[in-house]
């Protein structure tokens, strides 16, 4: 009879980390499911659930392979790790000696915990030419959050660990359950909806969430910055901003008031192709029913005006006092979540 064994582990099919329960028979994985006694409560996305197919895939790359036929011929032979490393080192030395370190470019896929090492490798070689998906996904928001608030990591506090859940939840161009590599957050997000009064979906597409939304806004793609400015216009015109927070923690309010003056609901309605009533309604919900969170999607980071869009959205958070209070956008990480991988802390 086959020897059955259950191993508790963590999924790394994205850079998330859902708790998983892996069943093996005679050392071979036969089943993967979520671990109910983990932070993600036994939930997994379809990608994680199907990761057993990666392990068994006959085309999975397990060893260094060297091309032996013509490029494109599909002819490869297995080589040792020593030979692979020696070959790479020789080519890198040749490039550095003859053309300069900058001629070496390093690219990588989304991080699985090794990001810090590829950056270190690039710096050790002396090349600035390193590219990761992070440059158009997540890093822009870290940069802009940092620019506006002084700290780059702001996350939605869906957990209720601080005693409050978000009363207004905005999901802006994001589909946590499908397209996000952070979809382990989906579990907490879905739970937080039970406590939320206003659920606003801002997305031109009919996302799965849109059917559950209190308010679904479909702006013209690329007009998100104007929408954020319009919401701030309403909040300021109607005197709805969090006076205490703005007074105590911000500067530049008068300049912001002046800047958003022109972005009336009528004007923003024309820019975004949405009814002005939606802009007013969203602004009121966001400013009145606090605390609240804005979950930002990476599609906002792939726009030409990504910087200003994220900057405006961060100001919108601050206007409603939705920064650093339970149930809002938070930068602290509770011990239960463990250490977050932080490439920025890894600078040599």
Q: Report if residue 111 touches ligand SF4, rule: CB under 6 A.
A: no
Question: Closest approach of Cβ 337 to ligand SF4, in Å?
Answer: 14
Burial of 239 (0-12, 13-18, 19+ CB in 10 A): exposed
CB of 12 to ligand SF4, least distance (A): 6
Choose between 185 and 310: whose C-beta lies nearer to ligand SF4. 185
Binding-residue total with ligand SF4 (CB under 6 A):
12
Binds ligand SF4 (CB under 6 A): choice among 21, 22, 32, 48? 48
Residue 16 interacts with ligand SF4 (CB under 6 A)? yes
Q: How far is the C-alpha of 164 from the C-alpha of 24, rounded, in Å?
A: 41
Q: Which of residues 149-208 bind ligand SF4 (CB under 6 A)?
A: 183-184
Among 45, 294, 306, 312, binds ligand SF4 (CB under 6 A): 45
* Geometric angle at alpha carbon 305, from 262 and 239, rounded to 5°: 35
Judged by CB under 6 A, the stretch of 41-49, 165-173, 223-231, 233-241 that binds ligand SF4 is 41-49
Query: Segment near ligand SF4 (CB under 6 A), from 43-51, 199-207, 284-292, 339-347?
Result: 43-51
Structure tokens at 133: 């998906």
The residue nearest ligand SF4 at its CB is 48
Residue the block writes with tokens 């080192």: 89
Candidate ranges 45-53, 120-128, 161-169, 258-266; the one touching ligand SF4 (CB under 6 A): 45-53
Stretch that binds ligand SF4, among 9-17, 63-71, 143-151, 279-287 (CB under 6 A): 9-17
Q: DSSP secondary-structure letter at 176?
A: T
20/306 with CB nearer ligand SF4: 20
Radius of gyration of the CA atoms of the chain, in A? 24
Backbone angles phi, psi at 21, to 5 degrees: -120, 115
Kindly indicate which of the ranges 6-14, 62-70, 255-263, 295-303 contains the residues binding ligand SF4, using the contact rule CB under 6 A.
Answer: 6-14
Separation in Å, CA 236 to CA 2, 256, 322:
68, 10, 15
Distance from C-alpha of 176 to C-alpha of 174, rounded to nearest angstrom: 6
By beta-carbon proximity to ligand SF4, the closer residue of 19 and 327 is 19
Three-state SS sequence of 189-255: HHHHHCCCCEEEEECCCCCHHHHHCCEEECCCCCCHHHHHHHHHHHHHHCCCCCHHHHHHHCCCHHH
What single string gives the DSSP state of each residue in 71-117? TTS--EEE--HHHHHHHHHHHHHHHHHHH-GGG--EE--S-SS-HHH
Strands 292-296 and 168-172: parallel
Specify the residue, 54 or 91, whose C-beta has the smaller distance to ligand SF4.
Answer: 54
Measured from the CB of residue 11, what is the shortest distance to ligand SF4 in angstroms? 3
Q: How far apart are CA 192 and CA 161, in angstroms?
A: 11
- The structure tokens 């992070």 sit at 134
Residue (177 or 224) nearer to ligand SF4, CB: 177
Shortest Å, Cβ 184 to ligand SF4: 4
CA separation for the pair 334, 69 (Å, rounded): 53
Beta bridge partners, 295, equal 171
Contact region with ligand SF4 (CB under 6 A), list: 14-22, 152-160, 253-261, 328-336:
14-22
Q: Residue 54 CB, nearest distance to ligand SF4 (Å)?
A: 11
Residue 32 interacting with ligand SF4 (CB under 6 A): no
Nearer to ligand SF4, 18 or 279 (CB): 18
- Select 49 or 330, whichever has its Cβ closest to ligand SF4: 49
Residues of the shown chain interacting with ligand SF4 in the complex, contacts defined by CB under 6 A: 11, 13-14, 16-18, 44-45, 47-48, 183-184
């Amino acid at each position: 009879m086959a020897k059955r064994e259950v191993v508790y582990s963590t999924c790394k099919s994205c850079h998330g980390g859902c708790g998983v329960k892996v069943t093996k028979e005679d050392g071979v994985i036969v089943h993967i499911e979520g671990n109910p006694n983990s932070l993600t409560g036994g939930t997994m996305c379809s990608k994680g659930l199907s990761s057993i197919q990666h392990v068994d895939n006959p085309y999975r790359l397990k060893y260094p392979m060297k091309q032996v036929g013509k490029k494109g011929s599909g002819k490869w032979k297995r080589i040792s790790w020593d030979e692979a490393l020696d070959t790479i080192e020789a080519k890198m030395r040749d490039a550095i000696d003859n053309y300069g370190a900058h001629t070496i470019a390093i690219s990588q896929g989304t991080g699985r915990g090794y990001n810090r090492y590829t950056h270190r490798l690039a710096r050790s070689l002396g090349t600035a030419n390193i590219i990761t998906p992070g440059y158009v996904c997540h890093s822009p928001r870290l940069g802009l959050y940092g620019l506006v608030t002084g700290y780059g990591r702001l996350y939605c506090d869906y957990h209720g660990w601080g005693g409050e859940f978000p009363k207004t939840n905005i999901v802006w161009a994001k589909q946590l359950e499908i397209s996000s590599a952070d979809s382990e957050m989906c579990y907490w997000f879905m739970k937080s909806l039970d406590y939320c009064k206003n659920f606003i979906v801002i997305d031109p597409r009919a996302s799965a969430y849109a059917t559950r939304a209190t308010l679904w806004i479909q702006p013209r793609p690329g007009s998100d910055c104007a929408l954020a400015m319009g919401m701030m216009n309403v909040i300021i015109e109607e005197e709805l901003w969090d006076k205490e927070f703005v007074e105590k923690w911000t500067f530049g309010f008068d300049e912001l008031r002046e800047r958003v003056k022109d972005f009336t609901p009528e004007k923003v309605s024309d820019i975004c192709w949405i009814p002005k009533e939606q802009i007013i309604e969203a602004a009121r919900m966001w400013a009145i029913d606090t605390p609240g969170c804005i979950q930002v999607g990476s599609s906002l980071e792939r726009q030409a005006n990504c910087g200003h869009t994220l900057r405006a959205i961060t100001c919108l958070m601050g206007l409603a006092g939705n920064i650093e209070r339970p149930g809002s956008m938070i930068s602290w990480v509770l011990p239960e979540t463990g250490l977050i991988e932080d490439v920025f802390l890894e600078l040599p």
